[in-house]
Amino acid sequence: MRDEKVIVYIKERLETGRMPEAIEISKAAGVALSKEELKGYIYKYLENGWMPKAVEGSKAAGIELPKEVLIDYVNKYLEEGQIYSAIEGFKIAGMPPLKDKLAMIGRECLLKGKLYPGLEAYNFAEETPPEEELIICGNKCFSEGQLYPGLEAYKIANRIPPEKELIICGNKCFNEGHPSPGLEAYKKANRTPPKETLRACGQKCLQEGRHEDAREAFVASQKIEEIIEAKPIEIKEISLQELNDSKEIEEAWKGFGPKACLNCENEGVFKERYFILSRCPESIEEEEWLDEIMKKQYGIEHYGIAAGVFGDHRGLIDSAVCRKCGSQDVFFDF
């Protein structure tokens, strides 16, 4: 039993890169460690980016570690963005840091959304990362739901993150069941996330057994619902040019519009007017109120509402008049 405990103790030391200590214990306890086993651990250290531990272990085990092997691993670390491991490797292998190579690796890291390795590489190359690379990195981070690296990238670039990118990040976080960064992303965009999205996030968290995250998502959804119900609907007319120029509208919704007149079956050109709703109607009473307002204030009796156009609770009203017969009784679709 004692031997088994000693073997476990030795294995723990080997697994954590403490080979000299493991070898010393094995000799004292009379537990044999083969050269092949030790060599396997040495190369495992190299794979993990632990070159100092690998070199230290090879010396304690009496196993040669050729310089060519070290150089190959330094290049591997650079390619994989393990900048600190590469810098340590440069020193151990007796190689001068290649500043041009480091700057190139830094650029590649930033363009792939790997902020911190990219910054490390530029730092060791003694160069400042270009603003455009930081913005690309920040947007890449946002698209992958990495809010905080994205914010850091924009901060270093001394730029404010665009609302659109923050919403993309927030939605990605919610879809993956991470309500906290999702809510923060929407807050920084000065937008309110759709309550349906939060509920779906909460359900995902429940399925994965993350009850605190689920609770946060459901509570946020309830608060949004209460706020929306208490807030009156605001209507703002917008021109077609403004709508086409908008960076907020989802691309998939741009095909929504009048398709046919239900009075004369005209499928030609229609005269359209557009309105943005601060939120879509939530009840029959609100739908009736909206019908009345659109008729009295804008002279519109028939219209279509597209929800989710802006990625939040707002809606887009599209009304049309048939140029052939003058009817407003028009069918809307994509």
Q: Is the pLDDT of residue 141 over 90?
A: yes
| pLDDT higher than threshold 70 for residue 250 | no
Q: Which residue shows structure tokens 């095909």? A: 255
Tell me: pLDDT of 252 over 50.
yes
Is the pTM higher than 0.75? Answer: no
Decide: 42 and 65 in contact? Cβ < 8 Å. Answer: yes
pLDDT band at 156 (very low <50, low <70, confident <90, very high): very high
The DSSP string of 160-228 is PPPHHHHHHHHHHHHHTT-HHHHHHHHHHTT----HHHHHHHHHHHHHTT-HHHHHHHHHHHHHHHHHH
Does the structure show a pLDDT above 90 at 202? yes
Q: In the structure encoding, which two tokens stand for residue 11, read together? A: 């294995």
- pLDDT, one tens digit per residue, over 280-295 is 887 677 788 888 888 8
For residue 13, what is the DSSP state? H
Q: Tokens for 136?
A: 């690309």
Q: What is the 3-state secondary structure (H, E, C) of 93-135?
A: CCCCCCHHHHHHHHHHHHHCCCHHHHHHHHHHCCCCCCHHHHH
What pLDDT sits at residue 132? 94
Per-residue pLDDT at 1:
36
Say how far apart CA 65 and CA 76 lie, in whole Å.
Answer: 16
User: What is the Cα–Cα distance from 181 to 189, expressed in whole angstroms?
Assistant: 12
Share above pLDDT 90 across residues of the chain, in percent, rounded to a whole number: 35
Q: Which helix (H) or strand (E) holds 28?
A: helix 19-29
Q: List, for residues 13-66, the tens digit of each pLDDT value.
A: 999 999 999 999 888 888 888 899 999 999 999 999 899 999 999 999 899 888
